[in-house]
Chain A
Amino acid sequence: MMHDMSFALPQLLRGLGVTLEIGAIVVTAGSLAGFAVGLSLLYGGFLVRLAARAYVDTIRGLPVLVLIFAIYFALPGFGLRFSAFQSGITALSIFAAAHIAEIVRGGIGSIPGAQVDAAKAVGLTFWQRLRLVILPQAVRRMVPAWVNVAVEIVKGSALLSLLGIIELLLAMQNVVGVTFSPLPFYGVTAFLYFAVNFTISRLGGLLEKRFAYLKY
C-alpha cells in the first residue's frame, strides 16, 4: 500500500500540475476573450451585438463535453489540425469566454446610469469612462461569479482526460490501472481537486472582503 502511494503520488502530482496549467491558461484566455465579448454585448453595433449574443447563448446551452469533442473531432474536417491539448484548451476557453462575457455584461450593467451621465458631464471619452469610472466599480461585482467560473474550469479540465491528456483525473486512472486499488487514489485525487478549488474560493472570498467597504 505504501509502496503504491510512493509510486502513485509523483504521477498524481504531475497530473495536478497539468490541471493547474490548463486552469491558468484557460482562465486567462477566457477572461480576455470574455471581456471583449462582454463589451460587444453592451456597446456593439446591431450586428456585433447579435453575433456576440448568438455566441454566448449557443455555448452556454451546450454541454462542455460536446464542445470539447466537437472541437477535437470536427475541426480537422475543416482542415484545422490541433493537438489534443490545444483542442482541449481551445474548447474550455471558448466555454469560459461565454460565461465571463455574461458576467462582464451583468457587472457593467449593474452600475447606475447616473455614473455614466456624470462621467459624460465632466467630459470623459468612452474609453476613459470605462477605465476610470465604470470598470473599477464593476470589476468588484464580478469577482464572486468570476471565481465560480474559475472553479468550474478546474472541474471541467477533468473532461480533457477523455481526449487522452494526462491531467489529474487520467493520471489517477493510470495509477489505478497499475495498482488495482482504486479507493485510496480516488480519495487522494478528490482531495487534491477539493484543495485547489477550495483555495480558489477562499482567495475569491478574501478579494470580496477586501472590496466589501464599498456599498451604495
Chain B
Amino acid sequence: MGAYHFNWFLAWQSFPRFYWGLALGLELAGLSLVIGSVVGMAGAFGRSFGPAWLRLIVVAYVEFIRNIPLLLLVYFAFYGLPKLGIYVFDNVWSFIVALSVYSGAYLTEVFRAGVNSVPVGYTEAAKAVGLAPWQRVRLITLPVTFRIILPSLSNTFISLFKDTALASALAVPELTYAAEWLNVNTFRTIEAWTFATVMYLFAGYGIAFILRRVERRYAVIR
C-alpha cells in the first residue's frame, strides 16, 4: 500500500457542507431538547404527583427507553412508524421524534430530581399567600426547578448534540453525514474525519463554555 497523499484543499472546499451539517445538528439537538423537556416535565409531574397507574407507566417508559440503543429507536421511527399507519415524518422529523422520545426519558429523571429539590418552604409560603395549585406550579415550582436543573439541561443538550451523529444513518445531512460524503466521494478519509472531529470538539466545548456562563448567571442563590 502506497503512502497516503493528503489533500486538505479538497476537504476545505467542502467546508460549507460541514458547516451547515453542524448547524443542522445543533437544530436537531435544540428541537429534541425542547420537545423532550415538555415530555420530561409531564413525566416528572406524573411520576411525583400522579395516581399509581400513571407512575407505573412513567417508570416503565423511562426504564425501557434508557436501556435500549438510540439507533433502534431511530430505525423504529423511520421504518416502523409507517407500518403503524403514521406516514407524516420524513427522515429529519423521524430522527427528531426518536431523539425527543429518547431525551424525554432522561429529562423525566432530570425534572423529577429538580421538582423534588424545590424546598418545601417555598410551596408552603405560596399556599400561605393564597396561590391556587396551578399558580403554585407556574409561578413557584417551575421557575425554581428550571434554575436548579439548568446544569443538567445543558449537559443533556451537549450529549444530544453528540447523539445527532446517528441521524447520518437516515441520510440526514448533518456533520457526520458530511464527513461520510467526503469520505465516499473523494476518498479523503483522514481529512474528512479530522474535519468532523475538530468541528465536533470546537462546537461541543464552545457550547459548554457559553452554557457554563448562562448557568452562573441563573444559578440559585442559597
Query: Which A residues form the contact surface with B (CB < 8 A)?
Result: 58, 61-66, 69-70, 73-74, 76-79, 81, 151, 154-159, 161-162, 169, 172-173, 176, 182-183, 186, 189-190, 193-194, 197-198, 201
Contact = CB atoms under 8 A, between A and B. Distances in A.
A186 B201 contact: no
B24 to A, nearest CB: 14
Contacts of B201: 58, 61-62
A154 B197 CA distance: 23
Given A62-B197, A189-B72, A193-B69, A69 B1 contact: no
B126 to A, nearest CB: 35
Size bracket of the B interface:
35 or more
Interface stretch (B104-112, B117-125, B164-172): B164-172
Contact of A77 (B4, B69, B75, B205): B4
Contacts of B64: 190, 194
A182 B143 CA distance: 43
Contacts of B193: 66, 69-70, 73-74
Contact of A198 (B67, B179, B196, B205): B67
B71 interface: yes
25 contacts: A61-B205, A62-B204, A63-B163, A64-B165, A65-B166, A65-B168, A65-B176, A66-B197, A74-B190, A74-B193, A76-B189, A77-B4, A79-B1, A81-B1, A151-B67, A155-B68, A157-B69, A158-B72, A162-B169, A173-B75, A182-B80, A186-B72, A186-B76, A190-B64, A198-B67
A182 B190 CA distance: 36
B213 interface: no
Interface of B: 1, 4, 63-64, 67-72, 75-76, 79-80, 83-84, 162-166, 168-169, 176, 179-180, 183, 189-190, 192-194, 196-197, 200-201, 204-205
B176 A63 contact: yes
- What 6 A-B pairs come out closest when comparing CB atoms? A158-B69, A63-B165, A197-B67, A70-B193, A63-B162, A65-B165
Contacts of B80: 182-183, 186
Nearest to B196: A66
A58 B80 CA distance: 35
Given A63-B163, A173-B75, A197-B67, A69 B176 contact: yes
Contact of A73 (B63, B168, B183): B183
Given A73-B189, A81-B1, A194-B67, 7 more contacts: A61-B204, A69-B179, A69-B183, A77-B190, A169-B72, A169-B75, A190-B76
Nearest to B79: A182
Nearest to A68: B165
B5 to A, nearest CB: 10
Given A69-B193, A169-B69, A62 B79 contact: no
B58 to A, nearest CB: 16
Contacts of B169: 162
Q: Choose among A70, A157, A162, A193 the residue with the greatest number of B CB atoms under 10 Å from its CB.
A: A70
A172 B76 CA distance: 11
A190 B65 CA distance: 9
Contacts of B165: 63-66
B67 A66 contact: no
B197 A190 contact: no
